[in-house]
Amino acid sequence: GAHVESQWKTWAGGVNDKGAAEALRGIATSPLDPETVAHHEKDLITFRVQQAQIKYGNDPKIIGETVAQARSDALRTRLDAIAVNEPLRAEKMAKDNQKILGTSYDEAVGKYRARADQQLGNTAGTVAIERARTANGIEMPQGVQAPAVRNAILQQESGNRSNIGTSIDGAQGPGQI
């Protein structure tokens, strides 16, 4: 009776939670593929509605709120993934979908605007450094090569001898600084 129903709700809840997480992961993985996003959004809504029905029954108001929240979560996941490389695009998409984002709209737009400003600042800084370097005829330093680092360690440690004994700390062999 009640125990079986309780166990079933626990199991079904776990299935729905995992399915919803997988749907969000699918959206984040392919945020620029509208067909994939639509498929995973539909799955997310299904899992979230089933979860709500298990907890609250078939209350139309709760189901409507659950669908709206799932759509908002799907969109935010998509926008977050897009914003990694294209924050201005994510910001525009957020503005175009303000109603879906609901109460999370302001936070989302602010986050994408900040990311876009950061990206623009980094680009402007890189361009300014390159222009200054070029205008002043400055060569860019070459990176330190791994053999140079190894040789410097061996020189400092043992005068570049390979047959050194055990250190006072118990380290054996070359390169044990």
Q: 74-133: per-residue pLDDT in tens?
A: 999 999 999 999 999 999 999 999 999 999 999 999 999 998 888 888 777 877 888 887
Residue 43 has pLDDT above 80, yes or no: yes
Q: Which residues, 6+ apart, have CB-to-CB distance to 45 below 8 Å?
A: 66, 67, 70, 71, 74
Residue 60 has pLDDT above 90, yes or no: yes
Residue 141 has pLDDT above 70, yes or no: no
pLDDT of residue 174: 65
Query: Mean pLDDT of all residues in the chain?
Result: 86
Model confidence, pTM:
0.67
Q: Which residues, 6+ apart, have CB-to-CB distance to 113 below 8 Å?
A: 87, 91
